[in-house]
Chains A and B, each alone.
Chain A
């Protein structure tokens, strides 16, 4: 088994069939990459959304606590 082409440019040209071969491989690989990227990106977005909600909850809890602290001097009076 050996490399079938003399140099890189003949590998790209593929005896005149280069455009077809490379277009087919290029588009196919693009679609395959997209197949991997779609769920990964979706997962990432979900995680970001989750973090955002978590921070919101945290912030809400903190302001609630602060309000409690502020209200404390008022209640005994």
Chain B
């Protein structure tokens, strides 16, 4: 059947073996893009005439924020696939995606706060986007806490997948409501930068960083998934064979 590839994709063993080929390429490409992007953004992109050099934080802040949100959807979609098609691998990817997403949300929050100091004169502003990010961070933490709370792994998988799905339905509502809340309470003294056109000389490094972050995300997600697979499939024959043939102790 044409569905064969789909079921094969669901096999942790198949995933583990296939990704060991892709992994080095993915890692090299992402690190290369990130290195180029960081050097470009820090040293070669022109200075912003209004914000000075502090704007260079944008090159990590924006890609991290992008992936923090996309990561939640990736996590929720994996959870949904796991719930609907009872696919083991999908739950593993979901579990792997949660801490990565939380870490990226943290980066976005932290860099945003540090950027805020020279720009707005304070580290923390209850700005719509910052507040939404904070709530997203809490959503990630909730999924992580719930997935770890069950003694039986499968229950933790399903419960956190359901929570991630409920969160997905809620995220647009949360974002809209926080947006509305902010326009209501916006103090007159605080002028936040509007979404403005960005010069190509500043935009190209940003695109490079976003691409680098996407590749990095894929790389790290694969790494986390692989290590979780090993942890889960510990007692199976294929893991024993895989580790046995490469472990030096086994040859003695």
Q: Which residues of chain A have a CB within 8 Å of any CB of chain B?
A: 1-5, 11, 14-18, 20-21, 23-25, 27-28, 31-32, 34-36, 38-40, 42-43, 46-47, 50-51, 54-55, 58
Contacts and interface: CB of A to CB of B under 8 A. Distances in A.
B14 interface: no
B93 interface: no
A46 B240 CA distance: 12
A3 B47 CA distance: 11
A5 B247 CA distance: 50
Interface in B90-115: 99-100, 103, 106-107, 110-111, 114-115
A55 B230 contact: no
Interface of B: 34, 38, 42-47, 52-54, 56-57, 60-61, 64, 99-100, 103, 106-107, 110-111, 114-115, 117-118, 201, 216, 219-220, 223-224, 226-228, 230-231, 234, 240, 243-244, 247-250, 252
Contact of B44 (A1, A27, A54): A1
Contacts of A17: 52-54, 118
A43 B226 contact: yes
7 contacts: A1-B201, A20-B57, A27-B114, A36-B219, A38-B99, A38-B224, A51-B250
User: Is chain B's binding surface mostly helix, strand, loop or mixed?
Assistant: helix
A11 to B, nearest CB: 7
B224 A23 contact: no
Nearest to B41: A25
B110 A24 contact: yes
Given A11-B43, A17-B54, A51-B250, A40 B38 contact: no
A36 B103 contact: no
A27 B110 contact: yes
A43 B227 contact: yes
